[in-house]
Amino acid sequence: MNRFLPPILFTALVGMLVFAPVPALPALSGEEIMRRVEDRDAGSAVQALVSMELVDRRGATSSRILEGYGAEDADGLRRMVIVFHRPASVQDTRFLVIENPDRDDDQWIYLPALRRVRRIAAGEGGDSFMGTDFTYDDLQSRSVDDDRHELLREERRNGYDCYVVESIPRDLDGAQYSRRVQWIPRDIWVPIRIEFYDKRGNLLKVNSVEKLEQVQGYWTPVKSAMKNEQTGHATHLEVQRIQYDGNLPDALFTTRFLETGRAR
């Protein structure tokens, strides 16, 4: 099972909305659909160079270049590193996520101005990650078992026959969102749209895939956006280069790498 594809790098969704009758799809429950999403083959490792554009509600933009690495350890647990290359104001900022089997993921960030690695505390989960529309919690792994899933309907969207699944946290008090609604193309199992609702039940953010391609045989969102519908701010991501199944050293996924930038 491979679950290391993080929203900040490879998940996305919107475009022109197309609604049409959908031919009969196999009778799957919401939970079964989400397990297929979780269990889809995404390779043993991935490395990607990504351009990021932040857009405020007035249309002002700022651009960034980052590199992301993801791989599973010997126990099948996810590890992820993000390295910011440009502009100078964020250069060499490095972020690490290590999945744990029985508790929340560990997260650390290295800020060059402070010259030290800092652990992200649980209370910071809802904070913005590096000024983007993603929070630290958005970069955590989430098990299918953490939510209750219901298949709402089936419909055609952006040229794909989709299942529309609502996911509600089992622990509402400890969750950032009251619910999520996902559009999941049949046989691809990569969400092309995710709606996030705040604790009051209002639409907060939309994560949308604008371009989905097969790369080395793996379905990959190569162009995506996360938009905060309440503030009008958006984060656009475009994969410039990506490679699957490479040999990534274990030393890459350590706090020492965060400090030094060297994985050997």
Q: Is residue 84 part of a domain?
A: yes
Look over the chain and give the mean of its residue pLDDT values, rounded to a whole number: 89
| CATH assignment of the domain containing 62 | 2.50.20.10
Confidence of residue 251 (pLDDT cuts 50, 70, 90): very high
In angstroms, the CA 243 to CA 258 distance is: 22
pLDDT value for 26? 53
Minimum mean pLDDT range among 12-16, 182-186, 243-247: 12-16
pLDDT value for 132? 97
pLDDT of 154 above 70: yes
Q: Is residue 190 part of a domain?
A: yes
pLDDT of 65 above 60: yes
Task: Provide the whole-model pTM.
Answer: 0.88
Q: Is residue 2 part of a domain?
A: no
- Per-residue pLDDT of 161-187, as tens digits, reads 999 999 999 999 989 999 999 999 999
In angstroms, the CA 58 to CA 184 distance is: 32
In sequence order, the β-bridge partners of residue 34 are none
Task: For residue 113, give its domain range.
Answer: 7-13+23-260
Q: Is residue 1 part of a domain?
A: no
Backbone angles phi, psi at 147, to 5 degrees: -130, 165
pLDDT value for 263? 84
pLDDT value for 93? 97
pLDDT value for 13? 24
Please classify residue 238 by burial: count the beta carbons closer than 10 Å to its beta carbon, then call 0-12 exposed, 13-18 middle and 19+ buried. middle
**DSSP 3-state of 237:** strand
pLDDT value for 20? 33
Domains of the chain: total: 1
- Per-residue pLDDT of 87-118, as tens digits, reads 999 999 999 999 998 888 999 999 999 999 99
Q: Is residue 48 part of a domain?
A: yes
- Per-residue pLDDT of 136-149, as tens digits, reads 999 998 899 999 99
- Per-residue pLDDT of 29-42, as tens digits, reads 999 999 999 999 88
The total number of residues shown for the chain amounts to 264
Mean pLDDT of 242-253: 95
**DSSP 3-state of 30:** helix
Q: Which two tokens stand for residue 204?
A: 């907060």
Q: Is residue 52 part of a domain?
A: yes
Q: Is residue 27 part of a domain?
A: yes
In angstroms, the CA 170 to CA 145 distance is: 8
Q: Is residue 149 part of a domain?
A: yes
pLDDT of 261 above 90: yes
